[in-house]
Amino acid sequence: MFYIGAGVRLQQEGNGVPVSAPSNLAHWRSLIYAAVQPGPPVPQEDLLLVRDDTGRLARRFEPPPGTVPRPGAVLVLLYPDGDDLRLPLTVRSDKLPSHRGEVSLPGGAIDPEDAGPEDAARRECYEELGVDPFSIEVWGLLSSFYIQPSNFQVTPVVGFTERMPVLRPNDAEVSSVLTVTARELLDPTLVIRERWNLRGIDVTVPFFAIGEHKVWGATAVVLSEFVARIRRAAAS
């Protein structure tokens, strides 16, 4: 039994089993660290995935045959905020060639000089938000997946820094920054589903409603896996 201490009861979407979110920061840190260690894959039904009217996924998780994707990494950067852990999200600049105005995690391509996704994620966070890469401790990795529009195979990295970082957004890449706590992400009322028309196809789009922003697509996939892993660790 993983001890997480007394906390707020939250409803786990899907099976209705309530889990507890710790009110103590040390227990919160222990829970999330345990959640992002290697384990069974998270079922697709626990992820926020766009689907068409037949229930078919509107995205691929693997590249098409014969396609060689570019390796990339994104960073879920956690830092203490009272008795909670908070993470930053970036609103992509209108100066970028793709995904302008969308909410994303700090990240980008893995360069040849990077030792792997961990180094790339920390470097990209420094380039986008000015966070010292040497202050970030890597806790674990989430599931790698394919992003077809940009032909990236992305590995999400979960990291932690002991102090609230001073964020200095690079305006060439980031138009603004929003933040959310892990506790807020666990609240099922934050997840909204809407009917959209994407590239001429009617689909159901699930997203995290964070402030005035709809956090969907690849970023929602990463954050929903993060949430699902926390719930699984809390219920074990």
pLDDT in tens, 51-68: 998 889 988 888 889 999
Confidence of residue 150 (pLDDT cuts 50, 70, 90): confident
Q: Which two tokens stand for residue 86?
A: 């908070």
Q: How far is 117 from 138, CA to CA, in rounded Å?
A: 10
Mean pLDDT value of segment 161-170: 93
Confidence of residue 8 (pLDDT cuts 50, 70, 90): very low
Confidence of residue 20 (pLDDT cuts 50, 70, 90): low
158 in Cβ contact with 117 (< 8 Å): no
Q: Which pLDDT does position 155 carry in this prediction?
A: 98
Q: List the domain boundaries for the chain.
A: 7-235
DSSP the chain: -----SEEEEEPTTT--EEEEESSHHHHHHHHHHHTSS-SPPPGGGS---EETTS-BSS-SSPPTT--PEEEEEEEEEEEETTEEEEEEEEEPTTSSSSTT-EE-SEEE--TTSSSHHHHHHHHHHHHH---GGGPEEEEE---EEETTTTEEEEEEEEE-SS-------TTTEEEEEEEEHHHHT-GGGEEEEEEEETTEEEEEEEEEETTEEE-HHHHHHHHHHHHHHHHHHH-
Would you say domain 7-235 falls under CATH 3.90.79.10?
yes
178 in Cβ contact with 158 (< 8 Å): no
Confidence of residue 173 (pLDDT cuts 50, 70, 90): confident
Confidence of residue 85 (pLDDT cuts 50, 70, 90): very high
Q: How far is CA 82 from the centre of its chain?
A: 21
Confidence of residue 112 (pLDDT cuts 50, 70, 90): very high
Q: How far is 74 from 223, CA to CA, in rounded Å?
A: 11
Q: Which pLDDT does position 61 carry in this prediction?
A: 82
Least confident range of 11-15, 30-34, 40-44: 11-15
Answer yes or no: is pLDDT of 97 > 90.
no
Mean pLDDT value of segment 201-208: 94
